[in-house]
Structure 1
Amino acid sequence: MSINLDELSIEELEKLIKQAEAALEKKRKAELKNAQAVLEKMAKDLGVEPESLLKGVEKKKPTRGKKAAKKKAGVRRPAKVKYRNPKDSSQTWTGRGKRPVWLQQELDNGAKLEDFAV
């Protein structure tokens, strides 16, 4: 079905809108009635009341345990130094991230990581 809306007057468009809204409401009521009939049949087949099928259907907000933990906003402390260059004590490494060049060179030359532990 196709209606050329450009040819209709304002009054005719308003009448058409009202008719469409009434038809839509009628369809919604019919769908609801059909859904109720399906629900009642399912309840009957299960041997329960129709209302019991809807219990626990409401959406609940997810929680993390009894009390949801909130992160505290704050400044992170720097990581502790785990390795130090014995030749230059200003060169250190926390053990996080990529190994520093000085440490990688020493390891390539046969040194052990434990030799540099603080």
Structure 2
Amino acid sequence: MTINLDALSIDELEKLIKQAEAALDKKRKAELKNAQAVLEKMAKELGVDPQDLLKGTGEKKKSTRKKTTTKKKAGARKPAAVKFRDPKNSSNTWTGRGKRPLWLQDALSKGAKLEDFAV
């Protein structure tokens, strides 16, 4: 389904947006009701309270795996150091990680050596 939005005025577009948001909200609520019905049916079949399914308070199998207590700290990584630079254009750099950049691929295909670009 396509609507020619160019033919609509600003007021008509705003009205259309409000109608679309209302329809989306209605669909989401219907999906939520459907999911709740499925959850209640599953809970009934298992013989548990639906809230127990959501909380995960039902009986769980005990894991035999040893839990590790060391976790890495989440945070921003430092950028990798530049290892290769284009002598013709110093803004062309490569860290040596990932796919080789096109400027380096072109130079290597013309007979240059990777060592020629080392920083």
TM-score (structure 2 length as normaliser): 0.49
Tell which structure's C-alpha radius of gyration is larger: 1
TM-score by length of 1: 0.49
